[in-house]
Amino acid sequence: MTIRVLAFDIFGTTVDWYTGVSRQAAEVFGELGVRLDPGAFALEWRDKYLPSMARVQHGEREWAYLDTLHRESLDELLAEHGVDLDEAARQRLVHAWHRLPAWDDVPDGLQRLRKSYTVAALSNGGFALMTNLVKAANLPFDCILSAELARTYKPDARVYRTAASLLDVDPGEVLMVAAHGWDLAGAAAAGLRTAFVERPREKGPDREADKDVDAEFSVHDFGELAERLGV
């Protein structure tokens, strides 16, 4: 079956959340005199990401979009560190996830790929968050898709199948592009094809990112993906 749509994971695959969140946290912490290491803080915050979504995905709580989960895990994390921040600072931190820098290869790679494919953002970030982030980073996606449209989270099969259905293609005509094994395993289980992008700096300088993930394509950046797809 021919690939017609490329669906891109965003956090870690398309944008550098570690650098973006830790820099914005450093600004907030600096202004308010908070003595937390921003890089470690970003990692600890992200560690709460998968467990918080799993509770929604498994029906243990009702649908809540990612800003809500980020806020809850932020509140937990600050409490664990005994740090009290005011409402405005907490909101700034939650919104840090709306403004993240793309990896260097992304703008050109997407421009090249979109000449031959429909390129869609397919993230666990909410629809508004994704729209804000893609606009701020000026990324040439053809459309925004979000787990919010299926009211559950990746790796639930409904997210991938909703994306294919909205684009009126078969799941097997969609290539999921991601830097995480759990995302690609979910996509494959839903009948999508898979491309792994290795992002060794995703979790900063000291923590190892996913590697050697099982996928149909395995590349180092979006430009190499375009080459492999022959476009």
Q: How many CA atoms lie within 13 A of 142 on its CB side?
A: 17
> In terms of Cα–Cα distance, which of 137, 121, 149 is closest to 65?
149
Give me the least distance between CB of 129 and its own copies, in Å please: 8
Q: Judged by CB under 8 A, does residue 168 bind its own copies?
A: yes
Residue 20 vs residues 26, 102, 209: alpha-carbon distances, Å: 10, 9, 17
What CA–CA distances, in Å, run from 154 to 46, 101, 203, 222, 225? 15, 22, 20, 21, 22
Shortest gap between Cβ of 152 and its own copies (angstroms)?
16
The verdict on 173 binding its own copies (CB under 8 A) reads no
Instruction: Dig out the tokens for 193 from the structure.
Output: 């094809």
Q: Which one among 23, 127, 217, 221 touches its own copies, defined by CB under 8 A? A: 127
- Shortest spacing between CB 166 and its own copies, in angstroms: 4
| 170 makes contact with its own copies (CB under 8 A) | no
Indicate whether 14 belongs to the interface with its own copies (CB under 8 A). no
Residue appearing with tokens 């494919």:
117
Element (H, E) at 93: helix 87-96
Residues 50-69 interacting with its own copies (rule: CB under 8 A): 67
Q: Note whether 44 binds its own copies by CB under 8 A.
A: no
For residue 195, the minimal CB distance to its own copies (Å) is 20
Q: Report the residue number, 114 or 158, with the smaller CB distance to its own copies.
A: 114
Q: Which of 36, 43, 169, 185 binds its own copies (CB under 8 A)?
A: 169
Rounded alpha-carbon distances, angstroms, from residue 102 to 11, 18, 108, 139, 154:
9, 11, 11, 8, 21
**Given the rule CB under 8 A, which of 56-64, 140-148, 183-191, 211-219 is the region that contacts its own copies?**
140-148
Of 35 and 115, nearer to its own copies (C-beta) is 115
d(CA 56, CA 153): 7
> Residue 168 Cβ, how far from its own copies at the closest point, in Å?
4
DSSP state of 198: -
Interface with its own copies by CB under 8 A: which residues? 67, 114, 118, 120, 126-132, 134-135, 142-144, 148-149, 166-169
